[in-house]
Structures are given as C-alpha cells and as structure tokens.
Structure 1
C-alpha cells in the first residue's frame, strides 16, 4: 500500500513538474478562432534590451478581463521548468492601448545570454485553468529588429501577419531611436502546399524583384502600393530585417473569381481544377463545381462556401508567412481537417493531433526551420496520410462539412 501511495505521489509530482515545461503545454487553443480569448504578439530588441508587445483580445461575451491573471517568465528552452519566484505580473501599468474588449501590454526587460523563451501564463481564475503562450526571443538565426511596423494613429505595433495594399502604417523604433528605412520586395508568387502524402520535392518559382523601392523615415506615414513580399531594413542595422507580406485590398476575401477558385485545389480533382481555371466564364465554372460536385441542395452548397472560405480567412490570421496562410503546410492541413484537438511545440517541431474516423489519432509533425529571414513550418510528409486525407476531402465534396 505504501508502495502504491509513493508511486501515486511520484506520478503526480512528475505531471505537475511537466506542466511547468512548455514542451508539455497543450497549445491547440491558439488555433481555435472561437476560443474565449485570442492572442497576438510582436518582439523588438536593441541588443539585449527587449520589448514584447502582447495583444490580449476577449473573444467571448461570457468572459471579462477581471477573470484573468496574466504573468510571464523567461526561460532558456522549452524543457526548462518555470523558475522559482521568476514570474512577473502583467497588470494595468503595462497597458499601452485599450480597444473594444482588447488590451495591448508592453513587456520590457533585459535578456540574459542564454534566455531564449518568454512564457506568458494566462490564468482563468474563475475556472482555475491555465493557458500558456510561448514567445521565442530568438528564432534560430533570426534576431528581432529594433523597429516594428506601427499603426498609423496608435503607438502600438501592427499585429497582423500581412498588410493590405494601400493600408497606412508607420515604421518606428520602440527604443526612441530615429531611424531611416529602406524597403524592397519580390513578387508574391510562392507555390501552394501539396497534400500531406505527396513526398515529391517541388522547386519554388524563382523570385522576381519588384521595381518599386521605398524609403521612409522614423514615424512617417506610408503605404504599400504593390502586392509582394517585402524586406525592411534600418540603415543603422543592415543585418537585421523585418519581413511582411502585402496582399491586395480584399485579402483574406477574394475580389475576383479566378482568385476564389484557387483554394478549391484541395477538394477538386486535377481535371476539375484545370477546367475551372481555364474556363472562359470562371464564375459559372465555380458555381457549376459547387452545385454539381458538392450538392445541388442550395443550403448545403451555401454551407460549403461559408465554411470552406471561412477557414481561408482564419488561415490568413494564423499562418501567413511569405505567402497566403492557406498556401502553407499548416494552412493546408488546417483547411481540410480544421482545428487540431491537441498541439505541442518545442524549438524544432510542432505536433498536431486530430481524431481519426477509425477511432485512433492522426498526427502531423512540422519541422520548424529558418529560411530567407522567416520561420517556416514544414510538414514531414508521408504516404500514411493518403487514406485520411481522401476521407476528409470526400466529406467536403459530399457536403458533410468538417467544422
């Protein structure tokens, strides 16, 4: 009996200890756009002087800001435990902006040599439930810039992963420096992620530089006139670059039917997709695909359009990199399978777990790599995914919405 009690205490102690490690924290709430709250962040650094801007948005009418206690600590890795007495409370003194049901905090600190990770603890006091947000302070060989894109009329960062063409913003240093900036770009012609069972290595289209070259000064309001993937440098820090995708004024909606058809590549056959893209009347081709392939039932066909393209918009917020969110590996999986029921992450990989129709689990593993100045999540593909993928696509095609 004593042995069983000791074993029980040991297991309990191990679980409690594991919960203090980010590698064991369950992060699926980050990809649930209907979650009770949504989070965004931006990191700026001047040497070891760091500022993290944390945007906390209440997303449910049943919760209030008083329901939460916020704090953070700094760690060396994802497997480090929370340091004893290392938490810093996040409170109203760090609020730099308040909007409708959202609060932006400025978290300022000096990073030690081995510090790699900020962990924000979002504690719902009412339900006694903790949520953890990992904020990398250094991502591989990519260091934060001493400047950020700021809103035109607010002294807070522009948090979105993309900017719409002709949207006015500013470049600013949070460290009271007056910098001059150079902005160059390439065309947004990156490819669409192939299905998870497709292991063929495909070469990306070659990058074509945009003719326009921007120059702007500290705090000057400007806008991007052309779509593309842009690199921003400050003249005083030429080795540090900020990257951002500039999309058209409609994104993540679609202004033209040829663009509306593109995401259907995941639920159409090669011939169906080709016929739609090459049709002289693209609108009719789109409507014919939905009505004939998905369902002739008006309610079902409308639900398909509603839910399928709503995921496109969610992917824009969640997964945009150097291309639209739905074109990335994570966006592709999310588009077809929806919210993962579990997500775990460390420095090198991210794991998504979905329920299987056979009663088991489907697991997608993404390698976290650092290329071209950005962090990418590359799916480890395999033929084992073919059956699950085809079943999920079949559900979409027959109007059984996966939502």
Structure 2
C-alpha cells in the first residue's frame, strides 16, 4: 500500500493537469497562508463554517477500524447547496500526529472526481484505507473542501487515535442507499443497515434515559448527574439486515462486548430536530425566560394559550413575537443538528451557548478543548467560551463548558436582545 501522503500514479493519470495545478495552488495558499510566518496547524485553523447557518456543505469523516492500526475512512460531503457542481470545489485530506503539528504541503492528499466511491443526490463520498505506524499514540484525520467561488474553506477532523479516544468502532451504520450514516441521531422507528469487520453478529444495548437542562454559563455549581443509569441488553442481531430503532433514548452497538469501542446512535421523536409539541416548547424556552415565567408555563394547563401569552408579554408586539419565535426555534433546530450526542443538541453545553449567543465568529480545536470566540476587533473586546473535552466511551466529541461568573454580563445582554427582538445572526 502506498504511503498515505502520496498520490497514486493512476490518480495522476486520471486528473486533468490544469485542474491538478489549480487544486494544488488553492490548497497551498488557503491551507498554508501567503507568508512563512502564518504556520498552519489544526489549532490555528478556524472551523467556524462547521457551525454556520449558511454553510453550503456539511463534512463528516466516519472511521471504521479494520485491524489494530488500519482504518477505513468514509469521508462524506453533504450537499446542502442545491445541485452543486463538483468542479466548484477542491477536495483534500491529511493525517496529523498532533493538533499543533504544522500542516505542510507534502502532507496534503488531493482528491479528484475519480476518487469518488459514491455520488448521490445528497452526498459525495470518498473512501480511503489508511494504515498507521504502530508506534503512534495520536493520529488525526482532517478533511478540507475549498469553495473556489467564495474562497470558503470547509473543514472537519476526527481523532483516529488519541488520549481522548477509546477504540474506534469495528462496524458501520448505513442508509438504504449505501451511504454511511453521518448523523448521531435518527428518528425512532427508522431503520439502518449495519456492516461489521468482526463477523455477522452485532450486539446492542439501549439506554432510555432523559437528561436535564444544563445550568447557564455563570452557574458554577456541579451539574446534576443521574445516580442510576438504566441499561437494557437488546442482544445480538445479524448484519446487513435492516434494523429498526424503535425506542426513544440511545443505542450502543458493539461487535465485541469485552472492548470499549462501539457506535452510539441517539433515537429521537419523529419531529426532531424540530420541536415536537407544546410541552417540549415550554422546556426549551427556559434559556430566555425568567424563573417566574418558566414556572408559570410549567404549571399552565393549556400550554398553547400560556405560550401565546408568554411571547406577546415578553416582546409586547405580535410581529416581533413572530420573528423571535421563528429565529429562536431555528436556533434550536441547528443546535439539535450540530450538537446532539447522547443528549439532544439543545440540552448540551455547546447547544445552549449556540442558541443564546448565536453561531461563533471563530472556532478553534485543541486536543483537550474547543474554543469559541465572539465579536470585537481587538483581543480585549472578544468573548471566548471554552469547552473542555471529556473522555467518554459513547462519543469522542463530548465537551462541557468551563463555567465562570464572568459570563454573566454578556449572557444577560444577549438574553435581553432576544427578549426585545434585536438578535441578528
């Protein structure tokens, strides 16, 4: 097998020389900057487009461990823009030994149309096998897609090995059309296909837990943690036969129950990522409500009537109320899409900050944290939210907010903006 940092001769033969040169130039200038001073590392890359409400693409890397140090990388690009042209983008990926390793030109692996394993109505899919050196403790895969029309750079990374990652799953979940399942949630009673590298039998566990709403950023007391966690052993099932996920909670799939690695999938109500009913709407408005307002909503017998009165009373203007409702629940929907893990996205710390503060202006990833930056032209005027990475057997992307009382002024300011209909995302 060729080194992962090389392009095969057959790939070069199939690529148009002009297209190859253009792709290389774009990758060089946009990935590495125009001067030697601006070294590019995973830590310095701004990944805010990953959370933008106006992204044209959605990127995902789905790793499936095939052997001890071998992985199949399913690199999927969701076509959010209607009928995009493949030629409008430049695609590449790289493997890194650390978050602060410089991304050099020789590490970039260009991807052409000939590298596509699937091209569906909604996805471009690249599939690559990589073999890691036995002595590496950390290895990160980074997918980059450059929109050559606007110069927007879409990025997505995932740790294949690292101190915050247990074993990667040795199985994958797939839609009926063969595209890998690229979400962390699925509406209950929908079905997926599972494919394993360890044989025909896959084991599943189900957790029916419902999580509480997180404390605000300035609340420094410890969060509520369930004292008991109910686990239902769902037994074995055979791969490549559609499996319906009928109960609302989350499932954990393994090919070997003696190992820690597995695949977690959250199952949600049929309306998710949108709001299901008036009861759920009452829970969700807690982020911009006073305690008294929320208690009155919880106690109301007619939730719809109480919510109508709540919105009008808060904004004092029916037209403003409609705009606030539309924008607030659009934020809820984005938070659910972006941040759902074993919790609904709106109940996570990142989802909470995203809903109230809006999409961050800058996003930087480090091995042990994710940092969001908002506003201001100078460092002194910027507001940063730091989410600490927590090692979790269910997901390698579990983050909790480092809370501080210093967030109180900006938090209340943004809630006031919401309540007066002046939010602008």
Aligned residue among 349, 355, 358 for 2:369? 349
Aligned residues: CA RMSD: 2.3
Contact 1:119 1:135 in 2 (8 A): yes
**Secondary structure class of the residue paired with 2:294:** helix
2:82 pairs with 1:76: no
Shift of 1:62: 9.4
Q: Number of residue pairs matched? A: 386
Shift of 1:97: 2.4
2:149 pairs with 1:149: no
TM-score when scaled to structure 2? Answer: 0.85
Q: Structure 1 CA distance, aligned partners of 2:84 and 2:192? A: 32
Q: Report the equivalent of 1:118.
A: 141
Q: Report the equivalent of 2:321.
A: 301
Q: Structure 2 CA distance, aligned partners of 1:155 and 1:237? A: 29
Q: Structure 1 CA distance, aligned partners of 2:272 and 2:122? A: 24
Q: Report the equivalent of 2:288.
A: 267
Q: Report the equivalent of 2:52.
A: 32
Q: Structure 2 CA distance, aligned partners of 1:119 and 1:99? A: 22
**Secondary structure class of the residue paired with 1:240:** coil
Q: Aligned in 2, Cα 1:141/1:26: closer, same or farther, shift over 3 Å?
A: closer
**Secondary structure class of the residue paired with 1:400:** coil
Contact 1:351 1:365 in 2 (8 A): yes
Q: Structure 2 CA distance, aligned partners of 1:249 and 1:129? A: 34
Q: Report the equivalent of 1:184.
A: 205
Q: Report the equivalent of 2:381.
A: 360
Contact 2:79 2:123 in 1 (8 A): yes
Q: Structure 2 CA distance, aligned partners of 1:207 and 1:402? A: 41
Q: Report the equivalent of 2:409.
A: 387
Contact 2:170 2:262 in 1 (8 A): no
Q: Structure 2 CA distance, aligned partners of 1:106 and 1:143? A: 20
Contact 1:179 1:235 in 2 (8 A): no
2:125 pairs with 1:96: no
Contact 1:34 1:59 in 2 (8 A): no
Shift of 1:212: 6.6
2:43 pairs with 1:41: no
Q: Structure 2 CA distance, aligned partners of 1:360 and 1:166? A: 48
Shift of 1:99: 2.4
Q: Report the equivalent of 1:402.
A: 424
Q: Structure 2 CA distance, aligned partners of 1:239 and 1:205? A: 21
Shift of 1:61: 5.4
Q: Aligned in 2, Cα 1:128/1:228: closer, same or farther, shift over 3 Å?
A: closer
**Secondary structure class of the residue paired with 1:293:** helix
Shift of 1:207: 4.1
**Secondary structure class of the residue paired with 2:322:** helix
Shift of 1:238: 4.0
Q: Aligned in 2, Cα 1:128/1:244: closer, same or farther, shift over 3 Å?
A: closer
Shift of 1:50: 0.7
Shift of 1:346: 1.2
Deviation sequence 1:334-361 (CA, Å, 0-9, x none): 0001111111111111110111699921
Q: Report the equivalent of 2:279.
A: 258
Q: Structure 2 CA distance, aligned partners of 1:214 and 1:277? A: 39
Q: Aligned in 2, Cα 1:171/1:206: closer, same or farther, shift over 3 Å?
A: farther
**Secondary structure class of the residue paired with 1:85:** helix
Q: Structure 2 CA distance, aligned partners of 1:309 and 1:126? A: 31
Q: Report the equivalent of 1:4.
A: none
Shift of 1:210: 5.3
Q: Aligned in 2, Cα 1:384/1:184: closer, same or farther, shift over 3 Å?
A: same
Contact 1:27 1:344 in 2 (8 A): yes
Q: Report the equivalent of 1:287.
A: 308
Shift of 1:203: 2.4
2:359 pairs with 1:335: no
Q: Report the equivalent of 1:168.
A: 191
The answer for unaligned runs of 5 or more in structure 2 is: 1-33
Q: Structure 2 CA distance, aligned partners of 1:226 and 1:129? A: 40
TM-score when scaled to structure 1? Answer: 0.89
**Secondary structure class of the residue paired with 1:22:** coil
